[in-house]
């Protein structure tokens, strides 16, 4: 970490020094120069201001003994023991990372009456499942769940912890990161690991304009959340491997100020997250009425309709059907994009689809860089022809 130190006695002309900053990050407070939150650490005040008036100080970085932290851990997200599929996807990635640095893979499973269900995870190549089975953990409450997570990390000391970006995961991970004063990268799209066990966490940043590589070299554990459908789940082996360890924690640490009166399960909705075929409408759709042809194409293929963000903002579709960073992540067998340019914000949510079929009149559209098949043309001409060809049961000539 670095900071700027102001030596007031060396400032000759405070207004002249204020004029140096291009961000307006310096203020005159009753004759004293103060630096506000607008500072970008460009150091122009240091270079162009009076000598010694503003100093740039590099604070000493406290190093951590990384050899004391070993293993890749996965938080098991579940509902009454039914394991969320994102957990299996994270186990697959944890095994891959573990092999690179020769580290074991752990799972943290907390809840009530879950010990037997935890054995299912041994069919996916986990070395050890740490089970906290207590009635106080029956329903998700942030205080006891955080306490258990803290106990697990303090006992096992994993180098990295992967958490599914579910409602529970997104609530829990920041609390755990704060407890250990460590970093947390949300919604990672790529994960890798260095030989020194530094986790390379890649995710789109600055509105999707860059792919940021984030590392936490001086803190442990390293925490990352990953959305469902981003990683690949391993196949289930017939024979289990590894072991289940039942852990205990002091009862007083499971106290919560929250009392769960009743749990009402939400009705299952037919959405885009688990669809095998998806037809996506993009910015090229001119009116809400034009969505009818997209819906017809999806219906003929037995698929679901999805949209990009501009169509949500235009009110053409429900926000639950948005694909992308600010929407849902999907991984269908077939995805057809109709008039979608293919910005990073969108492609990050679907680029792992098995087959990507793109229709766009701009031959230089970024979507064609990731598409397996593409048609350069107007969607208002192409989609009706596709619909007609499907109805007749004949192929469509490119």
Whether 107 and 126 have beta carbons less than 8 Å apart is answered as yes
Is this model's pTM higher than 0.85 or not?
Answer: no
3-state secondary structure of 339: coil
Tell me which of 226 and 271 has the higher pLDDT: 226
Domain boundaries, the chain: 2-58, 66-254, 277-392
3-state secondary structure of 201: strand
pLDDT digits (tens, 9 = 90+) for 301-322: 999 999 999 999 999 999 999 9
Selection from 193, 191, 177 nearest residue 66 by Cα = 193
For residue 15, CA distances in Å to 18, 20, 52, 370 come to 5, 9, 16, 53
State residue 395's pLDDT score: 56
Selection from 178, 146, 154, 175 nearest residue 253 by Cα = 146
Query: Is the preceding peptide bond at 221 cis, omega within 30 degrees of 0?
Result: yes
Which residue shows structure tokens 């990295």?
Answer: 160
Domain 66-254: which topology?
A: Rossmann fold (3.40.50)
pLDDT band at residue 397 using 50, 70 and 90 as cut-offs: low
pLDDT digits (tens, 9 = 90+) for 326-345: 889 999 999 999 999 998 88
Percent of the chain scoring above 70 in pLDDT: 98
pLDDT at 281 over 60: yes
Query: First-to-last CA distance in the chain?
Result: 57
pLDDT mean over 290-303: 95
State residue 266's pLDDT score: 79
Tell me which of 106 and 348 has the higher pLDDT: 106
Which residue shows structure tokens 């752990």?
Answer: 106
3-state secondary structure of 129: strand
pLDDT mean over 65-83: 95
User: Could you say which architecture CATH assigns to the domain 277-392?
Assistant: 3-Layer(aba) Sandwich (3.40)
* Cβ density class 335-367: b for 16+ within 10 Å, e for less: bbbbbbbbbbbbbbbbbbbeebbbbbeeeebbb
Instruction: State the CB neighbour count (10 A cutoff) for residue 266.
Output: 5
User: Could you say which architecture CATH assigns to the domain 2-58?
Assistant: 2-Layer Sandwich (3.30)
* Cβ density class 184-202: b for 16+ within 10 Å, e for less: bbbbbbebebeeebbbbbb
State residue 188's pLDDT score: 93
State residue 146's pLDDT score: 97
β-bridge pairing 304-307 and 277-281 = parallel
Environment class of residue 256 by beta-carbon count within 10 Å: exposed (0-12), middle (13-18) or buried (19+)? middle
pLDDT band at residue 398 using 50, 70 and 90 as cut-offs: very low
pLDDT at 359 over 90: yes
CA dihedral 198, 203, 207, 208 (to 10 degrees): 130
Q: What are the respective helix, strand and coil percentages of the chain, to the nearest 5?
A: 30, 25, 45
Whether 384 and 338 have beta carbons less than 8 Å apart is answered as no
Q: Are domains 66-254 and 277-392 of this chain identical in fold? A: yes
């Amino acid at each position: 970490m670095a900071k700027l130190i102001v030596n007031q006695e060396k400032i000759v002309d405070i207004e002249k020094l204020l004029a140096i900053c291009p961000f307006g990050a310096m203020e005159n407070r009753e004759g004293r120069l103060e630096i506000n939150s607008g500072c970008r650490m460009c150091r122009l005040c240091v270079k162009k201001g009076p000598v010694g008036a503003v100093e740039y100080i590099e604070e000493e970085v406290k190093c951590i003994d990384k050899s004391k932290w070993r293993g890749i851990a996965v938080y098991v997200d579940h509902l009454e023991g039914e394991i969320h599929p994102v957990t299996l996807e994270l186990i697959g990635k944890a095994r891959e990372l573990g092999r690179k640095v020769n580290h074991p893979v752990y799972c943290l499973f907390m809840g009530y009456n879950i010990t037997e269900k935890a054995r299912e995870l041994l069919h996916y190549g986990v070395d050890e499942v740490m089970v906290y089975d207590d009635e106080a953990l029956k329903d998700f409450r942030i205080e006891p769940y955080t306490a258990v997570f803290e106990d697990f990390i303090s006992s096992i000391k994993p180098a990295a912890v992967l958490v599914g970006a579910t409602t529970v995961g997104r609530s829990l991970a920041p609390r755990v990161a704060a407890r250990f004063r460590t970093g947390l990268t949300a919604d990672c799209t790529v994960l890798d690991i260095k030989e020194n066990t530094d986790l390379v966490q890649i995710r789109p940043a600055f509105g999707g304009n860059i792919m940021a590589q984030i590392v936490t070299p001086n803190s442990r554990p390293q925490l990352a959340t990953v959305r469902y459908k981003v990683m690949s789940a391993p196949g289930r082996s017939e024979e289990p491997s590894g072991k289940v360890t039942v852990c205990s924690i002091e009862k007083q640490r499971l106290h919560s100020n929250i009392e769960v009166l009743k749990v009402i399960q939400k009705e299952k909705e037919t959405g885009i997250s688990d669809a095998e075929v998806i037809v996506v409408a993009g910015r090229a759709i001119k009116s809400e009425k034009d969505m009818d042809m997209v819906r017809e194409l999806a219906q003929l293929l037995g698929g679901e309709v999805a949209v990009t963000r501009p169509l949500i903002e235009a009110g053409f579709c429900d926000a639950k059907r948005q694909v992308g960073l600010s929407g849902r992540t999907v991984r269908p067998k077939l995805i057809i994009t109709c008039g979608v340019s293919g910005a990073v914000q969108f492609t990050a949510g679907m680029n792992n689809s098995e087959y990507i079929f793109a229709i766009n009149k701009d031959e230089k559209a970024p979507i064609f860089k990731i598409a397996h098949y593409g048609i350069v043309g107007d969607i208002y001409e192409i989609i009706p022809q596709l619909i007609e060809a499907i109805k007749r049961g004949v192929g469509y000539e490119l």
